[in-house]
Structure 1
Amino acid sequence: MTASVNEALLRSLTPKVLGILVRRGADFAAAEDAVQDALIEAIRLWPADPPRDPKGWLVTVAWRKFLDATRADAARRRREDLVDEEPAPGPAPVQDDTLQLYFLCAHPSLTPSSAVALTLRAVGGLTTRQIAQAYLVPEATMAQRISRAKRTVSGVRFEQPGDVATVLRVLYLVFNEGYSGDVDLVAESIRLTRQLAAMIDHPEVAGLLALMLLHHARRASRTAPDGSLVPLAEQDRSLWDTAAIAKGIGILQAALARDRLGEFQAQAAIAALHADAPTAEETDWVQIVEWYDELARLTDSPIVRLNRAVAVGEADGARAGLAALADLDDALPRYTAVAAYLHERDGDPTTAARLYAEAAGKASNLAERDYLTRRAARINAGRGR
Structure 2
Amino acid sequence: MPGVSVSARVEQVYRDESRRILATLIRLLGDFDLAEEALHEAFFVAVERWQRDGVPDNPRTWLVSTGRFKAIDVLRRRARFNASRPLLIAQLEALEQADWSDEDVEDDRLRLIFTCCHPALAADSQVPLTLREVCDLTTEEIARAFLATPTTIAQRIVRAKAKIRDAKIPYQVPTLAELPERLDSVLRVIYLVFNEGYSASIGAELTREELTREAIRLGRLLMELLPEPEVMGLLALMLLHESRRPARTSADGELIVLDEQDRSLWNTELIEEGCALIERALSTGRFGPYCLQAAIAAVHAEALSAQETDWLQIVGLYDVLLAAVPSPVIELNRAAAISKRDGPLAALALVDGILQRGELLDYYLAHSARAEFYRQLGRAEEARGAYRRALELTQQLPERRFLEGRLRALK
With normalisation by structure 1, the TM-score equals 0.71
Matched ranges for 1:98-113 at <5 A: 99-106=110-117, 108=123, 110=125, 113=128
Q: 1:59 to 1:113 in 2, by over 3 A?
A: closer
Q: Which structure 2 segments of 5+ residues have no match?
A: 1-5, 142-149
Cα distance in structure 2, aligned partners of 1:89 and 1:314 = 63
Matched ranges for 1:234-383 at <5 A: 234-325=260-351, 327-330=353-356, 332=360, 333=363, 334-345=365-376, 348-349=377-378, 351=379, 353-363=380-390, 364-365=393-394, 366-379=397-410
Cα distance in structure 1, aligned partners of 2:258 and 2:196 = 19
SS in 2 for 1:260: coil
Instruction: Indicate if the aligned counterparts of 2:190 and 2:219 stay in contact, CA closer than 8 A.
Output: yes
Cα distance in structure 2, aligned partners of 1:58 and 1:372 = 43
What residue number does 1:69 align with? 74
Shift of 1:100: 3.8
Cα distance in structure 2, aligned partners of 1:377 and 1:62 = 52
Q: 1:79 to 1:258 in 2, by over 3 A?
A: farther
What residue number does 1:120 align with? 135
What residue number does 2:259 align with? 233
SS in 2 for 1:201: coil
Q: 1:234 to 1:300 in 2, by over 3 A?
A: same
Q: Deviations over 1:268-295 (max 9, x none)?
A: 2111111111000110111101111122
Matched ranges for 1:70-85 at <5 A: 70-73=75-78, 74-75=81-82, 76-80=84-88, 82-83=90-91, 85=93
Task: Name the structure with the higher helix share.
Answer: 2
Instruction: Indicate if the aligned counterparts of 1:109 and 1:152 stay in contact, CA closer than 8 A.
Output: no
Cα distance in structure 2, aligned partners of 1:228 and 1:277 = 24
Correspondent of 1:217 among 227, 243, 247: 243
Q: Deviations over 1:35-66 (max 9, x none)?
A: 77678889969979879xx98x9988776655
Q: 1:186 to 1:224 in 2, by over 3 A?
A: same
The count of corresponding residues between Structure 1 and Structure 2 is 351
Cα distance in structure 2, aligned partners of 1:60 and 1:239 = 42
Instruction: Indicate if the aligned counterparts of 1:71 and 1:77 stay in contact, CA closer than 8 A.
Output: no
Cα distance in structure 2, aligned partners of 1:299 and 1:319 = 25
Shift of 1:216: 1.8
Shift of 1:300: 0.5
Shift of 1:67: 4.6
Shift of 1:11: 6.9
Cα distance in structure 1, aligned partners of 2:113 and 2:247 = 32
Q: 1:89 to 1:370 in 2, by over 3 A?
A: closer
Shift of 1:304: 0.9
Cα distance in structure 2, aligned partners of 1:194 and 1:279 = 30
What residue number does 1:154 align with? 165
Shift of 1:259: 2.8
Q: Deviations over 1:228-276 (max 9, x none)?
A: 3222111111111111222222222223233332222222211111111
Instruction: Indicate if the aligned counterparts of 1:321 and 1:342 stay in contact, CA closer than 8 A.
Output: yes
Shift of 1:369: 4.2
The letter of the residue matching 2:112 is: L
Cα distance in structure 2, aligned partners of 1:58 and 1:168 = 30
Matched ranges for 1:126-145 at <5 A: none
What residue number does 2:195 align with? 176
Out of 236-245 and 110-119, give the one that drifted further. Answer: 110-119
With normalisation by structure 2, the TM-score equals 0.67
Aligned residues: CA RMSD: 4.3
The letter of the residue matching 1:196 is: L
Instruction: Indicate if the aligned counterparts of 1:360 and 1:368 stay in contact, CA closer than 8 A.
Output: no
Q: 1:81 to 1:222 in 2, by over 3 A?
A: closer
